[in-house]
Chains A and B, each alone.
Chain A
Amino acid sequence: MKRRDLLIRAAGGMGSAMLLGALPTLAWADNSACYSAWSGSTESFSWPKKKPPYRIALSNSYIGNEWRAEMVTIAKMYYQRPEVKKLIKDFRVSSAGNDVNAQIAQINQMILSGVDAIVMDAASPTGLNSTIERAANAGVLVVSFDNVVTTDKAITINQDQFDMGKRWADFVVKHTGGKGHVLVVRGVAGTFVDQQRYKGGRSVFDKHSGITTTEVYGNWDSGTAQKVTANALAAGSDFDAVWSEGGDSGVVNAFRQRGKKVPPFAGEGENGFRAAAAKEGFPMLSIGQSAGLVALSMKVALSVLQGDKVPQSIRSPLNLVTNDNLQEGKNYFKDIPDSFYNGVSVPGCGLDFDAVKVYKGIT
C-alpha cells in the first residue's frame, strides 16, 4: 500500500516536473510587452543552445548607493523564484567597486571558473570590452545592463537614457513656459548614463533661448545632491524648475532647509521625492531607472542559453509617475527611507517585485 502511494506520487511528481519544464518556453514566447529592439538596425543575437541547469554570475561594479544595493537584492530574489531556480545550479554575485581593473579581474575569474553566463553592471562602458570579447570567445554569454558596454559581443539591456533626459526637459519647459532659471543636477561626471541624460535634456533646453541653467554634480546620491543644491541656493540663485538625474530627495531637502517652495521638479524615482510631491503638491515628473533591469537581464540570459534569439540591444520601456498617478503603497511608500529608488519592477515582463520586500532584503 505504502509502496503504491510512493509510486503514484513519484509518477505525479515526474509529470508535474515535465510540465514545469515546458512552462518557461511558453512564458517567454511573447516578449513584445516587455522589451523591444533598440532600433530598426539592431542585429539579432543568437548563442549556441545549452542544457540547463546553468551557472550564472552577476558582476556588479559600484555598491556605494542604494540603487545598486536594491539591484543586487532583486537579483537574489529573482534567483529564488522556483521557475528560475531550477534552471540555475550556481548563482554568484560579486561587486568590484567602481574600479575597471577590479571588474576585469572579477570577470576573468568568472571565465576561469566556467560560468555559462555573466550578467553585469559595468564600471566603464568601454574599459571592459576586450575582456568581454575574451569571455565570448571562451563560450561565456555576457548580458550587460544599466551602465551598458559598447561592444556588440554582449547583449545590452537598458532604458533609453537620452529619452529620459529629454522628457524631463520637456516637462520643465511645459511648466516654466519656456523661460526661467533651471537647476540641472547631474550624475557622476564621465559616465555614459550622465552624458546621455544630459544630452537629452540639452537637446530640449537649447531650443528655448529663455531658459538659463545652473549645473551641479550630485553623483546620484542624496547627500551629495543636497550639498551641491544648498550651495547653489546659497549663492543667491532662485530656480523656476529642477531637472535632476538623481539624489532628488536631497535636492528637495535643500529647498526645504532654505525655506523655499519646491519648484516644478523632473527627476528620478526616489521615495522621498515622490512622497514630498504627494504631500506638498508641487508639479513633478518622476522617471525611475528600474533596479529590476537585473532580473530582466537574467531572464534574457536564461532564454538565450535555452536557444532563443533576442535583439542584441534591448530597450526596456520607461515607467513614468506624475502627480496624476502618484499613489501611496504603489509607487511611493511610508515605511521606506527617502533615499530608496522606487523603480524595482519591469512592467509587462512578469518581473514585479515588492518594494517593501526589496527594502527588507537589503537591511
Chain B
Amino acid sequence: MIFERYYSSLTAVVGLILLGILFVYIQPLILSPFGVTLSANQGTALALAALAQLVVVLTGGVDLSVGAMVGLTNAIAATYMGTHPGIATAVLIGTLAAGTLAGFLNGLVVAYGRLQPIIVTLATLYIYTGVGLVVRPQPGGLVPSGFASALTGSWGYLPYALVFLLAVVGLAWIPLMRSRLGRAIHAIGDNRNGARVSGISVARTELWAYTASGFFAACAGIFLTAQTTSGDATIGTSYTLNSVAAVVFGGAVLGGGRGIALGPICAAYFLSLLISVLFASGVSPFYQNLLQGAILVIVLALANVWRLRTRHWLNVMSN
C-alpha cells in the first residue's frame, strides 16, 4: 500500500542512492560534515523549484516561468534586505509575497484568460525576467550574514538547507496536498471534465495551483539568495527546464494528476549532484553536458524497461 504510493518515486530514490555511493567512492571527503553540507546546499534551490513546477504539472499544465520567478525573487531579496534584521525579515516576507503574486498573475491568465499554460508562462518568463532586471540591472546586493549562515550552515552533519526544505514541505506542501484544494488539483489534472461535472471549479483550482507555484519559486529564490549572498536577475534561467526534468524524473506524469513530492525532490538532488560527480571524476568539460543528458535518458529508459515487464498492460497504463 505504502510502496504503491511511493512507487513512482522509486527511480529517483534509487538513482540518488546509487549516485551517492559512486560519489563517495570517487571523493570520500564528501562524507565529512563539510561535504554533506555542500551537497545539501547544492540541490535545495532546485528541489524547491521542482515543487513549484510539480504543483502546476499536477494540474496538467507546465510552468516555464519558474526560473524567472526564482530570479526575480532573488533580485528583490538581495536588493532590499540590507543588514538590519528587522528590515531583512520584512523584505523576506515581501519577497514571498512578490513570488506568490507572480504565480497568482500566471494563474489568473491561465484560468480566466483560457490560454495555454505553456504560452502564458513563456510570456511571463520574459516579463518577470524584465522586472528582475529593472530591480537589479547588474548583479550585486547585500544580505545579512546571519541570514546566509542560517540557511546554508550546518549543525554537525545536519545541514540547515535540509531543515529549510523539510520545513517548506511540512508547513506548506503537505497541508496543501491534504486540503480540498490539493485533491482538486489532482482531480483536474487526472480528468478535467470529470472534475468539472463533480462540482470542482477548474478555474479556481488552477488559479490557486499557480499561486502556490509562485510561493514555492519564491522559497527557492530566497534559498538561492542565502547561498549566493547576492542577487542576479538572470540567475534563475537554468531552473526552468531543470525543474521540469526533476519533476519527470521524479515520476510525475506531465499530463497531470499523478506525482508526489518525494520523487522530484530526490531527482533535484540527483541532477545537482551529477554535476559534482562528473567534475570529480575528471570528465572533459565538453562531454559534461552530453553525459548529463545521456545519463538522464539511460536512467529513465532503464526504469521504464523494468516497469514494462509487468504481467498486465493495464498496470502500465495506470502507473
Quote the shortest CB–CB distance from A132 to chain B (angstroms): 10
Pairwise interchain contact B45-A127, C-beta atoms closer than 8 A: no
Neighbouring B residues of A128 by C-beta, 8 Å: 228
Pairwise interchain contact A126-B231, C-beta atoms closer than 8 A: yes
Neighbouring A residues of B275 by C-beta, 8 Å: 96, 102, 105-106
Pairwise interchain contact B238-A127, C-beta atoms closer than 8 A: no
Q: Report the Cα distance A108→B286, complex, angstroms.
A: 20
Pairwise interchain contact A101-B133, C-beta atoms closer than 8 A: no
Contacting residue for B138 out of A109, A110, A112, A195, CB 8 A? A195
Quote the shortest CB–CB distance from A177 to chain B (angstroms): 31
Contacting residue for B232 out of A92, A104, A190, CB 8 A? A190
- How many chain B residues touch A (Cβ–Cβ < 8 Å)? 41
Quote the shortest CB–CB distance from A156 to chain B (angstroms): 15
Q: Is there a chain A Cβ closer than 8 Å to B243's Cβ?
A: no
Selected interface stretch from B27-35, B81-89, B116-124, B173-181: B27-35
Pairwise interchain contact B238-A102, C-beta atoms closer than 8 A: yes
Pairwise interchain contact A113-B133, C-beta atoms closer than 8 A: no
Pairwise interchain contact B276-A95, C-beta atoms closer than 8 A: no
Q: Report the Cα distance A150→B46, complex, angstroms.
A: 25
Neighbouring A residues of B235 by C-beta, 8 Å: 100, 124, 127
B149-188 Cβ-contact flags toward A at 8 Å (1 or 0): 0001000000000000000000000000000000000000
Q: Is there a chain B Cβ closer than 8 Å to A83's Cβ?
A: no
Q: Is there a chain A Cβ closer than 8 Å to B148's Cβ?
A: yes
CB neighbors of B among A73-132 (8 A):
92-102, 104-106, 108-110, 112-113, 124-130
Q: Is there a chain B Cβ closer than 8 Å to A271's Cβ?
A: no
Q: Is there a chain A Cβ closer than 8 Å to B139's Cβ?
A: yes
Pairwise interchain contact B46-A108, C-beta atoms closer than 8 A: no
Neighbouring A residues of B279 by C-beta, 8 Å: 94, 105-106, 109-110
Q: Is there a chain B Cβ closer than 8 Å to A65's Cβ?
A: no
Known: A63-B286, A97-B289. A124 touches B232 (CB 8 A): yes
Quote the shortest CB–CB distance from B107 to chain A (angstroms): 27
Q: Is there a chain B Cβ closer than 8 Å to A191's Cβ?
A: yes
Pairwise interchain contact B45-A195, C-beta atoms closer than 8 A: no
CB neighbors of A among B1-53 (8 A):
27, 29-30, 34-35, 38, 41-42, 45-46
Q: Report the Cα distance A49→B124, complex, angstroms.
A: 52
Pairwise interchain contact A112-B285, C-beta atoms closer than 8 A: no
Pairwise interchain contact B285-A63, C-beta atoms closer than 8 A: yes
Pairwise interchain contact A109-B232, C-beta atoms closer than 8 A: no
- How many chain A residues touch B (Cβ–Cβ < 8 Å)? 35
Q: Report the Cα distance A102→B272, complex, angstroms.
A: 8
Q: Is there a chain B Cβ closer than 8 Å to A23's Cβ?
A: no
Q: Is there a chain A Cβ closer than 8 Å to B205's Cβ?
A: no
Q: Is there a chain B Cβ closer than 8 Å to A72's Cβ?
A: yes
Pairwise interchain contact B289-A126, C-beta atoms closer than 8 A: no
Q: Report the Cα distance A95→B235, complex, angstroms.
A: 17
Pairwise interchain contact A126-B272, C-beta atoms closer than 8 A: no
Q: Report the Cα distance A208→B139, complex, angstroms.
A: 29
Q: Is there a chain A Cβ closer than 8 Å to B217's Cβ?
A: no
Quote the shortest CB–CB distance from A95 to chain B (angstroms): 4
Q: Report the Cα distance A195→B229, complex, angstroms.
A: 21
Pairwise interchain contact B233-A190, C-beta atoms closer than 8 A: yes
Contacting residue for A95 out of B152, B282, B285, CB 8 A? B285
Known: A98-B237, A112-B27. A127 touches B285 (CB 8 A): no
B229-247 Cβ-contact flags toward A at 8 Å (1 or 0): 1111111011000000000
Q: Is there a chain B Cβ closer than 8 Å to A297's Cβ?
A: no
Q: Is there a chain A Cβ closer than 8 Å to B227's Cβ?
A: yes
Pairwise interchain contact A190-B234, C-beta atoms closer than 8 A: yes
CB neighbors of A among B233-265 (8 A):
233-235, 237-238
Q: Is there a chain B Cβ closer than 8 Å to A290's Cβ?
A: no
Pairwise interchain contact A105-B42, C-beta atoms closer than 8 A: yes
Pairwise interchain contact A150-B137, C-beta atoms closer than 8 A: no
Q: Report the Cα distance A108→B227, complex, angstroms.
A: 13
Neighbouring B residues of A102 by C-beta, 8 Å: 238, 275
Q: Is there a chain B Cβ closer than 8 Å to A253's Cβ?
A: no
Q: Is there a chain B Cβ closer than 8 Å to A313's Cβ?
A: no
Neighbouring B residues of A94 by C-beta, 8 Å: 279, 285, 288
Q: Report the Cα distance A98→B279, complex, angstroms.
A: 16
Q: Is there a chain A Cβ closer than 8 Å to B140's Cβ?
A: yes
Contacting residue for A112 out of B38, B45, B227, CB 8 A? B38
Known: A106-B275, A127-B232. A92 touches B282 (CB 8 A): yes
B140: nearest chain-A partner, CB-CB: A126
Pairwise interchain contact B280-A109, C-beta atoms closer than 8 A: yes
Q: Report the Cα distance A112→B288, complex, angstroms.
A: 19
Quote the shortest CB–CB distance from A134 to chain B (angstroms): 9
Q: Report the Cα distance A63→B224, complex, angstroms.
A: 23
Q: Is there a chain A Cβ closer than 8 Å to B189's Cβ?
A: no
Neighbouring A residues of B282 by C-beta, 8 Å: 92
Known: A72-B285, A108-B38. A127 touches B228 (CB 8 A): yes
Neighbouring B residues of A195 by C-beta, 8 Å: 137-138
CB neighbors of B among A118-154 (8 A):
124-130, 150
Q: Is there a chain B Cβ closer than 8 Å to A10's Cβ?
A: no
Contacting residue for A108 out of B45, B233, B237, B276, CB 8 A? B276
Neighbouring A residues of B30 by C-beta, 8 Å: 112
Q: Is there a chain B Cβ closer than 8 Å to A192's Cβ?
A: yes
Neighbouring B residues of A106 by C-beta, 8 Å: 275-276, 279
Pairwise interchain contact A99-B148, C-beta atoms closer than 8 A: no
Quote the shortest CB–CB distance from A187 to chain B (angstroms): 12
Q: Is there a chain B Cβ closer than 8 Å to A229's Cβ?
A: no
Q: Is there a chain A Cβ closer than 8 Å to B141's Cβ?
A: yes
10 contacts between A and B (CB under 8 A): A60-B285, A94-B285, A100-B235, A102-B275, A104-B42, A109-B280, A112-B38, A126-B139, A128-B228, A190-B234
Given contacts A104-B227, A110-B279, 5 further A-B pairs with CB under 8 A are A102-B238, A104-B42, A105-B38, A112-B34, A130-B152
Top 6 closest A-B pairs, CB basis?
Answer: A126-B230, A95-B285, A127-B228, A195-B138, A99-B238, A190-B234
Which residues of chain A have a CB within 8 Å of any CB of chain B? 60, 63, 72, 92-102, 104-106, 108-110, 112-113, 124-130, 150, 189-192, 195
